[in-house]
Amino acid sequence: MTDLHVNFAGVSLKNPVVVASGTFGFGREYGAFYDLSELGAICVKGLTLSQRAGNPPPRIAETPGGMLNAVGLQNPGVDGFIARELPELRRHDVKIIANISGNTVEEYGILCQKLAAVSVDMLELNISCPNVKEGGLAFGTSPQSAAAVTAEAKRNAGTVPVMVKLSPNVTDIVSIAKAVEDAGADAISMINTLLGMRIDIHTRRPVLRNNTGGLSGPAILPIAIRMVYQVRQAVSIPILGMGGITTGEDAVEFLLAGANAIAVGSANFQNPYAPLLVRDGIASYMQENGISRVDRLTNGVQTWTPCRASCEEELT
């Protein structure tokens, strides 16, 4: 008997498979392929205080083992979400994680208040969007500003747990993880996309109209695994691990590295059923290895003892 249930920062997930913000809209489209109640949770498309039109196209570029996107937080605004999308999502037995993005620290507070008032299951602070000019990434790149946004969110979120989504586009992700934990974050999600760029050699123009965009997909998986592992060593709050997961085996890697739950992102685009395959893959791994509870996998990596200096010398 495999128990896939996870208690994630006080939120009860029927399985550890979440779908990542920005890859799943508000659930309507993939809800045409399967029952959304099969998922652990849905991180909805990033919400801002006012609606946003997003960036001009092209917004998408193919890359080796992944893709770049520069959508630019196109969304109906938090009020539009509450009025038109949330009631539809609520019809499914699935936890709803509202992903929010503010231009100022105060805006994060207002967004949290509005969403706590309608009892979303969790808040995810996007302090790491690489595709908008103001706010976004700026908050996620210093421990001080990341902590300030986290503290403001906590003051306004009532009893709704606050998760902070970390950017990999930083020198030291561990210091930011520690800062948000100290500021009261209930969980961390990681990683957001890595800043990338592609150029059309025939036109000499960047493929993306935004010039740069966020890299996602299998190409970023090892970076994400390494970062989850490093952050796990430094914080004790739960981690939602993501970055290039397409299979159950990928997900198990994240759990072993220290994640408590995982999110499927770009893989949805390749295969609408990817989250369900990932879930079933985790269950098969557990069965094959005689593991009864999925939470026993978390942080289960057995790292090698550091090798002596001579190992490195041989390479140089």
Partner 1 sequence: MPIQKTCTILRSERLIPYGYSLVLDAGEIADTAHPGQFLQVQCDGQFLRRPISICDAGAGRIRIVFEIKGKGTQILAKKRVGDSVDVIGPLGHGFPIHGETVLLVGGGIGAAPLFFAARRCLGTVHAILGFRSANTAVLTEVFRSVCRQVDFTTEDGSLGESGFVDGPLRRRLEETKYTRILACGPQPMLRAVAKIAAEFNVPCFVSMEERMACGVGACLGCACKMKDGSYQRVCHDGPVFSASEVSFDD
Q: What residues are annotated to the active site?
A: 129
Query: Whose Cβ is closer to partner 1: residue 184's or residue 272's?
Result: 272
Give the number of other CB atoms < 10 A from CB of residue 8.
26
Q: Are strands 187-190 and 194-197 parallel, antiparallel or unpaired?
A: unpaired
| Helix, strand, coil shares, percent, the chain, to 5 | 35, 20, 40
Please identify which residue in the block is written with the tokens 């992102």.
Answer: 265
Q: Largest Cα–Cα distance of the chain, in whole Å?
A: 63
Smallest distance, Å, CB 301 to partner 1?
27
Cα dist from 32 to 28, 49, 100, 108, whole Å: 7, 28, 25, 32
Query: Is residue 155 a contact partner of residue 109, using CB atoms and an 8 Å limit?
Result: yes
Smallest distance, Å, CB 231 to partner 1?
26
Query: Is residue 166 a contact partner of residue 192, using CB atoms and an 8 Å limit?
Result: yes
Query: Whose Cβ is closer to partner 1: residue 105's or residue 197's?
Result: 197
Distance CA 6, CA 189 (A): 15
Smallest distance, Å, CB 59 to partner 1?
5
Smallest distance, Å, CB 42 to partner 1?
11
Q: Residue 299 carries which DSSP code?
A: T
Query: Whose Cβ is closer to partner 1: residue 28's or residue 133's?
Result: 28
Query: Whose Cβ is closer to partner 1: residue 19's or residue 297's?
Result: 19
Smallest distance, Å, CB 270 to partner 1?
7
Query: Whose Cβ is closer to partner 1: residue 75's or residue 150's?
Result: 75
Smallest distance, Å, CB 36 to partner 1?
12
Per DSSP, the residues of 20-32 read -TTSSTTSTTGGG
Cα dist from 65 to 20, 100, 221, 261, 296, whole Å: 18, 28, 10, 23, 30
Q: Please give the residue ranges that form the binding site for partner 1 (CB under 8 A).
A: 22-25, 28-30, 32-33, 45, 53-63, 65-67, 69, 71, 74, 207, 217-218, 266, 268-273
Query: Whose Cβ is closer to partner 1: residue 270's or residue 287's?
Result: 270
Give the number of other CB atoms < 10 A from CB of residue 292.
10
Query: For residue 297, which of 11, 15, 23, 10 has the smallest C-alpha distance?
Result: 15
Q: Are strands 17-19 and 194-197 parallel, antiparallel or unpaired?
A: unpaired
